[in-house]
Amino acid sequence: MTAASPNSPTDIADILAFYASAGVDEALEEQPVNRFAEAAPKPPERAPVTAAPAGEAAPQPRSTSLSRGEASSLPDAPVRMPATTVPDEAQAALARQLATTAKTLDELRQQMAAFDGCNLKFTAKNLVFADGNPDATVMLVGEAPGRDEDLEGLPFVGRSGRLLDRMLAAIGLDRTSAYIANVIPWRPPGNRTPTPQESQICLPFIRRQIELANPDVLVCMGGPASQTLLGVKQGIRATRGRWFDFHTGTREIRAIATYHPAYLLRTPLEKRFSWRDFLAIKKALSEG
């Protein structure tokens, strides 16, 4: 039996499938590049100074400056892009200020689109702000966009989004009667877990978004969203199905934690618990 060539279409398809499952969805360069590192500027070269014979003036080093004609004959120097911003306290303070000054959801979206204080913005394709009806009585918040969400600029699309749509339909809701967003509006590279700094710098924006939407019920989809918004330390298994009081800034609303649809796709046996959670959401909405 002859071994298949490593360049056969089957092998190439298997390699691509492995890369996709690992979160590698864009080919940039063969060698990894540290986008956070800045190249240290090289010191200018100095011409050697030689001792002059007795009675003669010491020779002066040749000037390294170029005339206009010489400079114009040189190839164009590469333009160095600015270093990617890493979240710090100054940017966090700016995020809080911008979120506070936004009076409407449209203004908040514009503020977030102009905000350059989170490094995730520089690797994402789109700002994933929200989907659905901002006047809805229920708001669902996940952790961060994935590849499909980044491409479309909408939260919860792709397989996770289709499952969420079915979950909403099971209790009589859809995207015209629910408002959907994420704690972080930019996709982390390779769908990696956002750092605590990235979550904290985006927190003022999502809190203001919840305040402006002013729902009656807040649904935290998954452990990271629950921990960031509700301040709980336990994992999602210990917090799902529990009700919390969430202060929007103007009033207190009811909040509940439940499993993220992406988790349910990997562990379908847990869907029975999400069904209980969504029945509780339906009851809370009916009670007003």
What's the pLDDT tens digit per position in 209-238? 999 999 999 999 999 999 999 999 999 999
What is the rounded average pLDDT of the residues 91-97?
93
- Residue 112 sits in which domain range? 89-287
Provide the 10 A C-beta neighbour count for residue 238: 13
Give the per-residue pLDDT at 237. Answer: 95
Question: By three-state DSSP, how is residue 59 classified?
Answer: coil
Question: How far, rounded to the nearest angstrom, does the alpha carbon of residue 87 sit from its chain's CA centroid?
Answer: 13
Check whether 64 has a pLDDT greater than 60. Answer: no
Number of domains in the chain: 1
- Residue 257 sits at φ, ψ, to 5 deg, of -105, 145
The answer to whether residue 32 sits within a structural domain is no
Is the pLDDT higher at 285 or at 14? Answer: 285
Q: How are beta strands 179-182 and 138-142 bridged, if at all?
A: parallel
The answer to whether residue 226 sits within a structural domain is yes
The radius of gyration of the chain's CA atoms, rounded to the nearest angstrom, is 27
- Residue 69 sits at φ, ψ, to 5 deg, of -70, -40
Give the HSE-up count for residue 12: Cα atoms under 13 Å, Cβ half-sphere.
Answer: 4
The answer to whether residue 154 sits within a structural domain is yes
Predicted confidence (pLDDT) per residue in 141-170, tens digit:
999 999 999 999 999 999 999 999 999 999
The answer to whether residue 76 sits within a structural domain is no
Is the pLDDT higher at 275 or at 2? Answer: 275
Rounded to the nearest integer, the mean pLDDT of the chain is 83
The answer to whether residue 253 sits within a structural domain is yes
The answer to whether residue 120 sits within a structural domain is yes
Give the per-residue pLDDT at 83. Answer: 44
Predicted confidence (pLDDT) per residue in 100-142, tens digit:
999 999 999 999 999 999 999 999 999 999 999 999 999 999 9
Question: How far, rounded to the nearest angstrom, does the alpha carbon of residue 8 sit from its chain's CA centroid?
Answer: 36
The answer to whether residue 252 sits within a structural domain is yes
Confidence of residue 61 (pLDDT cuts 50, 70, 90): very low
> 211 CB contacts (<8 Å, ≥6 apart)?
248, 249, 250
Q: How are beta strands 179-182 and 131-132 bridged, if at all?
A: antiparallel
Confidence of residue 65 (pLDDT cuts 50, 70, 90): very low
For the chain, percent of residues with pLDDT exceeding 90: 67
Check whether 56 has a pLDDT greater than 70. Answer: no
Give the per-residue pLDDT at 22. Answer: 56
Contact call for residues 99 and 211 (beta carbons, < 8 A): no
Check whether 57 has a pLDDT greater than 70. Answer: no
Q: What is the strand order of the sheet 179-182 is part of?
A: 131-132, 179-182, 138-142, 217-221, 252-258, 243-247
Confidence of residue 79 (pLDDT cuts 50, 70, 90): very low
What is the rounded average pLDDT of the residues 226-251?
95
Distance (Å, whole) CA 194 – CA 62? 53
Check whether 21 has a pLDDT greater than 80. Answer: no
Give the per-residue pLDDT at 88. Answer: 76
Alpha-carbon separation of residue 228 from 85, 100, 194, 225, 233 (angstroms): 22, 19, 11, 5, 9
The overall pTM is greater than 0.75: no
CATH number at residue 139: 3.40.470.10
The answer to whether residue 45 sits within a structural domain is no
Contact call for residues 171 and 281 (beta carbons, < 8 A): yes
DSSP 120: G
Give the per-residue pLDDT at 133. Answer: 98
Give the per-residue pLDDT at 89. Answer: 85
Distance (Å, whole) CA 255 – CA 241? 10
What is the rounded average pLDDT of the residues 180-201?
94
Contact call for residues 241 and 284 (beta carbons, < 8 A): no
